[in-house]
Structures are given as structure tokens and as C-alpha cells.
Amino acid sequence: MICLPLLALLLAPLLGCAAGGRPWVELRGQRFNVEIADAEAERNRGLMFRDQMAPTAGMLFVYDAERPLAFWMKNTRIPLDILYFDAERRLVSARTGVPPCSLGDRCPPYPSTAPALYVLELNAGTAARLGVTEGDELVFGPGIPERGAP
């Protein structure tokens, strides 16, 4: 027989997921459930080979240090908004309506115009719908890894 405290410990992670334990960020009051890409392999794969993404979903790329970044759309099938944020989680650059690319290594880069630590990819058109502007703050929900914050 499993004692009650042990059962509670075993079920705690599952209950957290059921209660909305997915990572999230907020931008201009809109919450997005995000996948976190904070390891090199995850960042390299990004949203490749996906045919769709929910309207309230995105991918958050987390780097170890703030620096100039550039993204490309190699093997990406859905148009995206690529939003670059600094260590203070302020928007420093936005590339919106970036089209899919099937040209492999010939896909063009979309660089940030300033050093960034975090990059948020959302469905194309989301930034325009929200009225996103430079300086907007990205709010992190619980469990989002923070790096290089002052």
C-alpha cells in the first residue's frame, strides 16, 4: 500500500500540468503558451517542419548571452513574426510576416538590429494585430529560464 504523502509527491508534477503548468509569456496583455528552445539543438530545429501553430502559441528562444542574432526560415513551413528582446526583456527588433523558405541553406537571414537575449516566434500577423512596438516588455510566466538579467 502506498502511503498518502508518497502518493501526493508522485502526483504533484501531473497536477501542475493539469492546472496550466505550460510555460507562457505575455506581450501587450496577450498570453502565449510557448515551447522553450534553450539548448543549441532545440534552437537549431526551432519551428522547422511544422504545418501550423495555434494562434495563442509560440516558441521562445533563450540564449546564454546578449548578442546580435539572426534567424532564418530554413525548412519552416509557416510564416512567422520574429521578435528580438534584450536582457531586460524589451523589444529591440522585429521581423514581421517572414515567409516560409524551402531553399535550404540559401534561405535569407533575418537579423536583429540590436543585441538580443530572447527571441519570440509567433504566427505572422500577430505583432501587427497587437500593435507591438520597440520597447514593449515581454512578461515571463513561471518556469521560463532567465539569463543575463541585470
Domain spans, the chain: 22-140
Q: What pLDDT was estimated at residue 53?
A: 97
Q: Are 136 and 85 in contact (CB under 8 A)?
A: no
Q: Are 4 and 13 in contact (CB under 8 A)?
A: no
User: Which of the four pLDDT bands, split at 50, 70 and 90, describes residue 2?
Assistant: very low
- Residue 99 in this model has a pLDDT that exceeds 60: yes
Q: Are 58 and 25 in contact (CB under 8 A)?
A: yes
| In this structure, CATH architecture of domain 22-140 | Sandwich (2.60)
- Residue 14 in this model has a pLDDT that exceeds 80: no
20: Cβ contacts below 8 Å, ≥ 6 apart: none
Q: What pLDDT was estimated at residue 148?
A: 63
Q: What pLDDT was estimated at residue 126?
A: 98
Task: Pick the closest to residue 85 from 144, 122, 138 (CA basis).
Answer: 138
Q: What pLDDT was estimated at residue 129?
A: 98
Please, what is the average pLDDT of the chain?
A: 87
Question: Which pTM was predicted?
Answer: 0.84
- Other CB atoms within a 10 A radius of the CB of residue 114 amount to 16
